[in-house]
A and B are shown apart, each in its own frame.
Chain A
Amino acid sequence: MLKHSDIISLIDSMVLALRKRDGIEDSLIIGIHSGGAWIAERLHHLLENPHSIGMLDISFYRDDFTQIGLNPQVKSSDLPESIEGQNIILVDDVLHTGRTIRAAMNELFDYGRPNSICLAVLLDREGRQLPIQADICGMNIHLAPHQQVKLSYVDNEFELKNISTKPSDT
């Protein structure tokens, strides 16, 4: 549904919006595995951020793991720099129910107390189940409740795929 060039220009627009924020030069960029990782890397590169990039795998922090199960290969979170007192840009691909972001913030607070967290997402879709909003968003999209999209990055090409199940399957 979205091609590589579309996604690149969406990320460029996110960079423009991020640059307008105070203290952006000194923020820590942290991506959420796996969809947020590539976007975070690109933002990190385009913003010429001086800090090491961080990655979170929030699988062990999900509140719904008994419903969706545990991914057998959870990546370890990697936060190379202390987040204590830092301004953080938290990056994910799609903001939907808000549960991933809730879990990510819980995990972040296990590492320290950040000064602020700014949420940057590529796509914002409706269906929020928690009071969580994006501060920076590439694009708002409308999807039916049963539809799922997933960002992949293969051969240096971004691709946003529709991996929806039919309504009858859900």
Chain B
Amino acid sequence: MNSPTANKHLETTADGQLKHFLSTSNHSRENLTRILELADSFISFGKREIKKVPLLRGKTVVNLFFEPSTRTRTTFEIAAKRLSADVINLNASRMSTTKGESILDTVYTLEAMHVDLFVVRDGASGTAELIARHLPDDVRVINAGDGRHAHPTQAMLDMFTIRHYKGAFENLKIAIVGDILHSRVARSQIHALRILGVKDIRVIGPKTLIPTKIESMGVVPYYDMDKGLDGVDAILMLRLQHERMEGQQIPSQQEYFYRFGLTSRRVALAASDAIVMHPGPINRGLEISSRVADGPQSVILPQVTNGIAVRMAIMSLLMGGQNSMGGKK
């Protein structure tokens, strides 16, 4: 796997607390669990009439997106605003970088305006890490997706959703289906599932879209979807970027749906109470049928709701909410 070598010392403080959130792989089970538990506390706030809490009042959060995104950027923006932070959205691909300014110069300029937290998305792997390495010690960075490397907040909202519906992780069987090769979501999901104690992780897809030696990540590849889904507790679908791969990695959309599309017949091969997840946006009729996407086992929309609570939890932990007293006073 061609992942950048982000190191633990960058992402955590000397005493093991969360500092930056750039990956799921560099965090302890304890810290990942802490995010899930705190996110649970934020869930109820979304149902209140006044959804804001004053936790990050006076803090400035910059959503620095070098790659277009609506859904992820919106949930980060809502999460920060519900914590009372001031949020600035910069779609940098349309701004200074096109004038030849380097990413770091853009970040230094923003840092001079006393930004407290950067949320970074880029098409290149390692951008969030690069930025984290060059900022002062009191500025925090969250990776909102970097190239093929990682999308750790998506993976954590998936973990939250699994935990919410299925409880303890240890004995679960989880299948990840689709384009594993290009997917930063899949990579972050696999690391998080492993750290949280899931032993049976399966990746399902055509041989052209599953990296060789994927077994070294602690997962089992299945090239036959029906076999891979047998008895699983959760089916994690991935979005197929079909516009980029037709004729090369997949023969045709119809052929792909026939072999790897999630249909009601295939959902029935999983455990009877299995949940169906998808990070969105979904390609109906390509990787998932409408009947499944809108069906009783689909938790695709709850995933979106959970994403706000999980991002609120990560932001408030990075911004000081993890002193050893754990809130006891």
Residues of chain A touching chain B, judged by Cβ–Cβ distance below 8 Å, are 59-61, 64-77, 106, 110-111, 148
Please judge, given known A-B contacts A73-B37, A74-B38, A76-B45, whether A68 and B327 are in contact too, CB under 8 Å.
Answer: yes
User: In this assembly, does B316 line the interface, its C-beta being within 8 Å of a C-beta of chain A?
Assistant: yes
User: In this assembly, does B241 line the interface, its C-beta being within 8 Å of a C-beta of chain A?
Assistant: no
* One of B40, B52, B327 near A69 (C-beta < 8 A): B327
A-chain residues with CB within 8 Å of residue B301 when the two chains form the complex: none
Task: Check A70–B54 contact: CB distance below 8 A.
Answer: no
CB contact list, B42-90 vs A, under 8 A: 44-45, 48-50, 52-55
Most buried by A among B326, B327, B328: B327
* One of A59, A72, A111 near B34 (C-beta < 8 A): A72
Considering only CB atoms, which chain B residue lies closest to A60 in the complex? Answer: B53
A-chain residues with CB within 8 Å of residue B327 when the two chains form the complex: 59, 65, 68-72, 74
User: In this assembly, does B41 line the interface, its C-beta being within 8 Å of a C-beta of chain A?
Assistant: yes
Question: Separation in Å of the B44 CB from the closest CB of chain A?
Answer: 3
Please judge, given known A-B contacts A68-B323, A69-B327, whether A76 and B52 are in contact too, CB under 8 Å.
Answer: no
Task: Check B34–A66 contact: CB distance below 8 A.
Answer: no
Considering only CB atoms, which chain B residue lies closest to A71 in the complex? Answer: B327
Question: Separation in Å of the A121 CB from the closest CB of chain B?
Answer: 16
User: In this assembly, does B262 line the interface, its C-beta being within 8 Å of a C-beta of chain A?
Assistant: no
B-chain residues with CB within 8 Å of residue A106 when the two chains form the complex: 54
How many residues does chain B have at the interface if contact means C-beta atoms less than 8 Å apart? 27
> Interface majority SS on B: helix, strand, loop or mixed?
loop
Task: Check A65–B53 contact: CB distance below 8 A.
Answer: no
User: In this assembly, does B320 line the interface, its C-beta being within 8 Å of a C-beta of chain A?
Assistant: yes
Task: Check A68–B325 contact: CB distance below 8 A.
Answer: yes
* One of B50, B316, B319 near A110 (C-beta < 8 A): B50
The CA-CA distance from A137 to B40 in the complex, in Å, is: 35
User: In this assembly, does B192 line the interface, its C-beta being within 8 Å of a C-beta of chain A?
Assistant: no
User: In this assembly, does B248 line the interface, its C-beta being within 8 Å of a C-beta of chain A?
Assistant: no
B-chain residues with CB within 8 Å of residue A76 when the two chains form the complex: 41, 44-45
Task: Check B41–A73 contact: CB distance below 8 A.
Answer: yes
B-chain residues with CB within 8 Å of residue A60 when the two chains form the complex: 41, 45, 53-55
Q: Would you mind naming 5 contact pairs between A and B with Cβ atoms under 8 Å apart? A: A61-B54, A65-B316, A70-B316, A70-B317, A70-B326
Question: Separation in Å of the A56 CB from the closest CB of chain B?
Answer: 12
Considering only CB atoms, which chain A residue lies closest to B322 in the complex? Answer: A69
User: In this assembly, does B321 line the interface, its C-beta being within 8 Å of a C-beta of chain A?
Assistant: yes
The CA-CA distance from A61 to B37 in the complex, in Å, is: 18
Shortest 3 CB-CB contacts between residues of A and residues of B: A71-B327, A69-B323, A66-B320
A-chain residues with CB within 8 Å of residue B53 when the two chains form the complex: 60-61
The CA-CA distance from A68 to B327 in the complex, in Å, is: 5
User: In this assembly, does B98 line the interface, its C-beta being within 8 Å of a C-beta of chain A?
Assistant: no
Question: Separation in Å of the B233 CB from the closest CB of chain A?
Answer: 25
* One of B40, B55, B324 near A65 (C-beta < 8 A): B55
B-chain residues with CB within 8 Å of residue A77 when the two chains form the complex: 44
CB contact list, B306-321 vs A, under 8 A: 316-317, 319-321
Question: Separation in Å of the B55 CB from the closest CB of chain A?
Answer: 5
The CA-CA distance from A139 to B120 in the complex, in Å, is: 54
Question: Separation in Å of the A79 CB from the closest CB of chain B?
Answer: 9
The CA-CA distance from A110 to B48 in the complex, in Å, is: 10
User: In this assembly, does B265 line the interface, its C-beta being within 8 Å of a C-beta of chain A?
Assistant: no
User: In this assembly, does B329 line the interface, its C-beta being within 8 Å of a C-beta of chain A?
Assistant: yes
A-chain residues with CB within 8 Å of residue B44 when the two chains form the complex: 76-77
B-chain residues with CB within 8 Å of residue A72 when the two chains form the complex: 34, 37-38, 41, 326-327
